[in-house]
Chains A and B, each alone.
Chain A
Amino acid sequence: MSTNIGADDALWVDGNALAGPLGEIMGTDLTVAELTCAGCRTTRPLAAMRVFDRAPGLVARCPGCGEVVMRVVRMAGRVLVDLRGSLVLSLPVPVA
């Protein structure tokens, strides 16, 4: 698990922090999903993104270009996942 704890900057943790809230609603481990950043077009696993979690929602940013690739907001009875910063979301097919 990587993070910038101790740095003189806003705190971030790695994309594994998204596993809980997303797994809970989607019933699958999304940290192995891959996202293609709309900013720099590189593809990385969700676990590699930097997640700013001291905010009104979870904000995942590309570690390459810093752009936002995903925002997750939890409200009463719903979780909203905004993916406008991503071009492609790819998921492994579960092995039966």
Chain B
Amino acid sequence: MALITPGFGGRRRDDANLPPGQYRTDDFPVLSAGPTPRIGLDEWELAVITETGERSTWSWAEFTALPADEPTVDIHCVTHWSKFGTRWRGVSLDTLLADVETAAEYVVAHSYGGYSTNLPLEDLLDGRAWVAYEFDGEPLVPVHGGPARLLVPHLYFWKSAKWLRALELRLDDEPGFWETAGYHNYGDPWREQRYRAD
């Protein structure tokens, strides 16, 4: 007869949603590699730039008039915290890139303030990524990346660039701010891809 330990089979739903090496927090820690940029909505602009140099841009009014989603997602920071059930409002990358002609396979997200991070284009498509401008029903505050940030919850959260300014579509991959400083190029929390040797 099998020895059933107390609690066996009663594993909390949360545990199954926690990637290896992570702990759960209900806070929303602020991580920042530099001063918080303050961008007025009248000067804010989002650009998509293709590998041929073609630019599509949205003003704040144009951007917030696009159809928006309200994803509720778990987020995982490489500094080991995970936060479950975060509620956002944002524009899907499928919507933003719908009319963009490109053969690119890679994207570099550029931020106001100089930050950058790189991702495969396919990771931004099929309902897996957004440009988010509300958190928990409120406008996204500057310390969390407002006016608008990238939201790619299936990768470590450094890939979800705060203060998003432009998405550069590229034929080749170009590592960003943390990827050039020892962090993993892809950053899958479920495979614990924290550092480049992982």
Contact = CB atoms under 8 A, between A and B. Distances in A.
Interface stretch (A23-31, A66-74, A88-96): A66-74
Interface SS majority for chain B:
loop
Contacts of B143: 10
B79 interface: yes
Chain A: interface size category: 20 to 34
A78 to B, nearest CB: 8
A55 B195 CA distance: 14
B182 A10 contact: no
Given A10-B143, A75-B194, A75-B195, A52 B34 contact: yes
Contacts of B181: 57, 71, 73, 80, 82
A56 interface: yes
Contacts of A78: 182
Interface string B20-45: 00000000011111111000000000
Nearest to A8: B36
A59 interface: yes
Interface centre among A56, A57, A61, A82 (most CB of B within 10 A): A56
B150 interface: no
A57 B36 CA distance: 17
B84 interface: no
A9 B30 CA distance: 10
Interface centre among B29, B31, B33, B195 (most CB of A within 10 A): B33
Contacts of A84: 180
A80 B32 contact: no
Given A10-B143, A56-B78, A56-B178, A73 B33 contact: no
A55 B78 contact: no
A73 B184 CA distance: 12
Contact of B33 (A9, A59, A75): A59
A52 B194 contact: no
Contacts of B33: 52, 55-57, 59, 68
Nearest to B30: A54
Given A57-B178, A71-B181, A75-B195, A9 B78 contact: no
22 contacts: A9-B36, A10-B34, A10-B36, A11-B32, A12-B35, A52-B33, A55-B31, A55-B33, A56-B31, A56-B78, A56-B79, A56-B158, A56-B183, A57-B182, A59-B33, A73-B183, A73-B195, A75-B182, A75-B197, A80-B182, A82-B182, A84-B180
